[in-house]
């Protein structure tokens, strides 16, 4: 079934009121809203109920992406604004960047490991490892 341009597959709740109508999905997320002034919104959600897409009758839209831990890792909108984020295994934000040039990096420093032979090759000389006192 299609209503207001939305494919309705599964169970949905359609609510009519005096001055607006809304459609809710099986998780009670509002996927469509329209008022008596012809203003409307459409929304999409992922399997974890994160809002991943929004658009309205004013031609504004945005989309979001989430990682497996439901951290928002990407955002972009119709105004060409975007945000990228990275999170560590404890869900701490370790990187942030946006379209206005703001970059905040808290990524852990990478520790490089070398064997004695690799160090000698890099330094082009023999080395001896001594214990710190």
> What span, in angstroms and rounded, lies between the C-alpha atoms of 7 and 105?
41
What's the whole-number mean pLDDT along residues 58-78? 98
| Beta strand extents in 10-131 (DSSP E only) | 13-16, 20-24, 30-35, 40-45, 51-56, 61-66, 72-77, 82-87, 93-98, 103-105
In the predicted structure, residue 66 carries a pLDDT above the cut 90: yes
Q: How confident is the model at residue 129 (pLDDT cuts 50, 70, 90)?
A: confident
β-strand partners of 95: 86, 105
Residue ranges per structural domain of the chain: 1-50, 60-133
Q: Is the pTM of this model over 0.75?
A: no
What's the whole-number mean pLDDT along residues 7-35? 89
β-strand partners of 14: 23
**Higher-scoring residue by pLDDT: 64, 123:** 64
Return the SS3 of 122.
helix
């Amino acid at each position: 079934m299609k209503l207001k341009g939305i494919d309705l597959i599964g169970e949905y709740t359609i609510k009519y009121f005096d001055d607006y109508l809304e459609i809710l999905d099986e998780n009670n997320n509002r996927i469509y809203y329209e008022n008596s002034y012809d203003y409307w919104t459409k929304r999409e959600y992922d399997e974890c109920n994160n809002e991943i897409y929004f658009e309205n009758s004013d031609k504004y839209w945005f989309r979001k992406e989430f990682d497996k831990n439901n951290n928002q890792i990407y955002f972009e909108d119709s105004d060409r604004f975007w945000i990228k984020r990275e999170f560590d295994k404890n869900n701490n934000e370790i990187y942030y960047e946006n379209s206005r040039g703001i970059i905040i990096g808290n990524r852990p420093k990478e520790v490089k490991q070398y064997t004695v032979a690799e160090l000698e090759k890099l330094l082009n000389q023999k080395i001896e490892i001594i214990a710190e006192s």
